[in-house]
Amino acid sequence: MKSPIVQSSRGITLVGGGPFSARDLRLCLSRAPLAVAADGGADRALRFGVMPEAVIGDFDSLSEAARDAIAPARQHRLEEQTTTDFDKVLRSVEAPVYLALGFAGARLDHGLAVFNTLIRRAGQRCIVIGPKDVAFAAPRELRLTLKVGDTLSLFPFAPVTGQSEGLEWPIEGIAFAPGGMIGTSNRVMRREVRLAFDGPGMLCIVPRARLDAVIRALTAAA
């Protein structure tokens, strides 16, 4: 196994080329202080005054200005085209948790590719930050501290069954599957929510205001 390009004992913020604000970037860096850019995400990071520790990707969207501004030793070009830049970045770094900003994207195919990578690399505890929600691959067991009335959605990327405590609509007995049953907009009825699944493949989405709760829960599950 190759050594990771970037390692951190704290969190890493993965910066993509999709839309986000300076405030969004500050939010992520306050929790995952090392920035690593996926290709053209480096341009957005530089625009907000952040020099990425590394830029990783096929460099098809990285500007010449960004290439000139970033030291060559920080530029890591992976030319293969069988995976996305998000996958290239996530597989090339190592940290306790990752916050992925600028990947929720305006294009539907890009968003689906990101979720696919989340599921395939579930062990890396990566959280995708959207404008209103955050998404992550659910571990086999998860305890979340949320707010009564919060929405919690479950989208299966594989056949999965599970158990729940603290939700308005329990998930016991539901055979979740792509193209089958999904769990959109369930509602939190108790602050402590417990989820357990019989296997991998479940994507979980909760309000962005609960980001810290998700970080704590994924770290504890690990």
Lowest mean pLDDT among 1-5, 119-123, 127-131, 180-184: 1-5
- Closest among 88, 109, 86 to 99, alpha carbons compared: 86
The whole-angstrom separation of Cα 112 and Cα 177 is 16
Element (H, E) at 99: strand 98-101
Q: How buried is residue 133: exposed, middle or buried, by Cβ count under 10 Å (0-12/13-18/19+)?
A: middle
Q: Is the pLDDT confidence value at 190 over 70?
A: yes
Q: What is the mean pLDDT of the chain?
A: 95
Which band of pLDDT confidence, cut at 50, 70 and 90, is reported for residue 222?
confident
Residues 142-164, mean pLDDT to the nearest whole number: 97
- Is the pTM for the entire model greater than 0.85? yes
Q: What percent of the chain clears pLDDT 90, i.e. is strictly above it?
A: 91
141-208, CATH topology level: Jelly Rolls (2.60.120)
Does CATH number 3.40.50.10240 belong to domain 6-131?
A: yes
Write the pLDDT tens digit of every residue in 5-62: 999 999 999 999 999 999 999 999 999 999 999 999 999 999 999 999 999 999 989 9
Token digits of residue 181: 């049953």
Q: Are 176 and 162 in contact, with CB atoms under 8 Å apart? A: yes
Domain spans of the chain? 6-131, 141-208
Residues 148-156, mean pLDDT to the nearest whole number: 98
